[in-house]
Amino acid sequence: MSANHALHTELPAEPEKATLEGRNKILGFWLFLGGECVLFGSLFATFIALRDKANGGPTGVELFSLPLVALATILLLTSSLTSVMSILAMHKKNVSQMVVWLVITALLGLGFLGLEIYEFTEYVHEGHSLTSSAFGSAFYTLVGFHGAHVAFGLLWLFALLATTGKKGLTVVTAPKYFVFSLYWHFVDLVWVFIFTVVYLMGKVGI
């Protein structure tokens, strides 16, 4: 079944799908993403319902800075690309290249997170917090949950990178990188809807 001691050169073309466990993990993760769609969908729905209930405090039109959001978007989008590149490198059995791409992914992700933390602290100074209004509660819960997903993804990535040296690329470890990459793409996908629904629509004032 699982070839724990397969040599590099013996790895099949798509190592993540070479074992039943690998295929199960990938399928299981896609199923989880289906559930996450509903989770974020519910948070989006809540935000849409409460988006203009600022309780006299600052509204989205006043708060949101499009350049900052654009920069954060570029960072996250690029990190999604670099994670794709890491999987392409994995399929070429080039472990060091895969690691390089993953490290860049991590740095870009950290940049995104840093920007978001800065953004949130600015908003709190301006009177927009979880407790200030229903809009605030909905904003921080939706965008915050997304940020928490980014943070958790980074922890996951660090753990993966830390073990790459010791375990290398095998039919057992390949699914882990692939599944991480799926997760990271999904996190970026959710962000596409966040910048559209929260920031762009917020700036329009609808």
Partner 1 sequence: MGHSHAPKKKGFLMDYLTTVDHKKIGILYFVAGGIFFLMGGLEALLMRIQLIVPNNTFLNGATFNEMMTMHGTTMIFLAAMPIIFALMNAIVPLQIGARDVAFPFVNSLGFWLFFFGGVLVNCGWFLGGSPDAGWTSYPPLSTSFSGFGIDFYALGLQIAGLGTLIGGINFLATIINMRAPGMTFMRMPMFTWASFVTSALILFAFPAITVGLVLLSFDRLFSANFFNVANGGNEVIYQHLFWIFGHPEVYILILPVFGIISEVISTFSKKRLFGYSSMVFATVLIGFLGFMVWAHHMFTVGMGPVANALFGIATMLIAIPTGIKIFNWLFTMWGGQIRFTTANLWAVGFIPTFVIGGMTGVMLAAPAADYQYHDTYFVVAHFHYVIVGGMVFGLFAGLYYWWPKMFGRMLNEALGKWNFWFFFIGFHLTFFPQHFLGLMGMQRRIFTFLPNQGLDFGNMISTIGAFGMTIGTIIFLINIAVTNSKPKKAPADPWDGRTLEWAIPSPPPEYNFKQTPQVRGYDALWVEKMAGNKGMTPAEPLGHIHMPSGSILPFIMSVGLFIAAFGLMYEKVSVAIIGALITLLCMLLRSLIDDPGYHVDPTEDKGVEA
Partner 2 sequence: MTDTHSGANQKGEKHLPSQHSARNHLITFALSIVLTAIAFAAVALEQVDIKSVVPFIFLLALIQAGFQLFVWMHLDQKGHQFQRIFIGGGAFVALLAVIAFSYWIWW
Which residues are at the interface with partner 1 (CB under 8 A)? 1, 4-5, 20, 23-24, 27-28, 31-32, 34-36, 38-39, 42-43, 45-46, 49-50, 53-55, 130-138, 141, 155, 159, 163, 167, 172, 176
Task: Give the residue with the Cβ less far from partner 2, 35 or 165.
Answer: 35
**Contact criterion met (CB below 8 Å) for 2 and 167:** no
User: At its nearest, how many Å lie between partner 2 and the CB of residue 80?
Assistant: 7
Q: Is 91 in the site for partner 2 (CB under 8 A)?
A: yes
Q: Is 204 in the site for partner 2 (CB under 8 A)?
A: yes
CA gap 173, 176 in Å, rounded: 5
Residues 6+ apart with CB under 8 A from 5: none
CA gap 25, 132 in Å, rounded: 42
Angle of helix 66-91 relative to helix 174-194, nearest 10 degrees, comes to: 160
Q: For partner 2, which stretch binds (CB under 8 A), given 101-109, 124-132, 156-164, 188-196?
A: 188-196
Q: Is 192 in the site for partner 2 (CB under 8 A)?
A: yes
Residues 6+ apart with CB under 8 A from 101: 82, 83, 85, 86, 89
Radius of gyration of the chain from Cα atoms? Answer: 20
Binding interface with partner 2 (CB under 8 A)? 1, 12-14, 17-20, 23, 27, 30-31, 33-38, 40-42, 44-46, 48-49, 66, 70, 73-74, 77-78, 80-81, 84-85, 88, 91, 182, 185-186, 188-189, 192-193, 195-197, 200-201, 203-206
